[in-house]
Amino acid sequence: MGRWEPGARGRLVVAAVDLFTEQGYDATTVSQIAERAGLTRSTFFRHFSDKRELLVAGQETLSKLLSDGIAEAPAGASPLEAVAAGLQRASTAMGPANRELGPRIKAAVAASSELQERDALKSVGMAAAMTVALVARGVPDPTAHLAGELGVLAFKRGYAQWSDGDQDDAGGLAQHALAALEDLRTATASLG
């Protein structure tokens, strides 16, 4: 078998999420994930160090895209405009495969307390990455912290709308995430 398997990484993620949903995260082994994806264990280990890492890898990529987008926003951008640039950058990395995966990941997370904890930590990691990137732009605390949390809420709400909605809807994730951010910005006026 050659060293390179086209699409192996994506096939492993889909197989893993399906198995997590069917039988739980704890009961799923690396061998089962590889078999379901039609790949070998050694191919799995060329992509991920273990099944936990399979979940973490996407999170680190996402956090980096969010902070890169924030860092590269124009100098005069407001905190939320910088967050919007981060959401836009992160959205470019999320294609049709991520969209189809959304409902499956949701089902897997609903079925596993361990995945709920990982998912919660993912949100905290994304918020922290955005907050740090905003502070580096000179946004003072707690505005930076608040804007980072709004960014996570907007990403999650936008992703849910994009992923749960009509798959023929041509709008990308960016469109949904930016609309969600605008809804949240508007909502700040009615907090009292």
The interface mask with a second copy, positions 16-45, x = CB under 8 A, is ------------------------------
Among 27, 121, 136, 167, which residue sits at the site for a second copy (rule: CB under 8 A)?
121
| Residue with Cβ nearer a second copy (106 or 118) | 118
Does 6 sit behind a cis peptide bond, omega within 30 degrees of 0 on the bond before it?
A: no
Instruction: Name the minimum Å distance from CB 44 to a second copy.
Output: 22
147 binds a second copy (CB under 8 A): yes
* 3-class SS letters over the chain: CCCCCCCHHHHHHHHHHHHHHHHCCCCCCHHHHHHHCCCCHHHHHHHCCCHHHHHHHHHHHHHHHHHHHHHCCCCCCCHHHHHHHHHHHHHHCCCHHHHHHHHHHHHHHHCCHHHHHHHHHHHHHHHHHHHHHHHHCCCCCCHHHHHHHHHHHHHHHHHHHHHHCCCCCCCCHHHHHHHHHHHHHHHHHHCC
List, as own/partner pairs, every contact residues 117-120 make where C-beta atoms lie below 8 angstroms and the sequence separation is at least 24, other chains included: 118/52, 118/55, 118/56
Convert residues 55-94 into a mask of x (bound to a second copy by CB under 8 A) and - (unbound): ----------------------xxxxx-------------
Residue of the chain from 26, 50, 100, 117 that contacts a second copy (CB under 8 A): 117
CB of 42 to a second copy, least distance (A): 27
Least Å from the CB of residue 153 to a second copy:
6
Give which of 50, 11, 10 is closest to 29, Cα–Cα: 50
**Closest distance of CB 100 from a second copy, Å:** 25
* Member of 14, 67, 149, 173 binding a second copy (CB under 8 A): 149
Q: By CB under 8 A, which span of 7-15, 34-42, 119-127, 159-167 interacts with a second copy?
A: 119-127
Q: Which residue in the set 157, 160, 175, 179 belongs to the binding site for a second copy (CB under 8 A)?
A: 157
Q: Choose between 46 and 106: whose C-beta lies nearer to a second copy.
A: 106
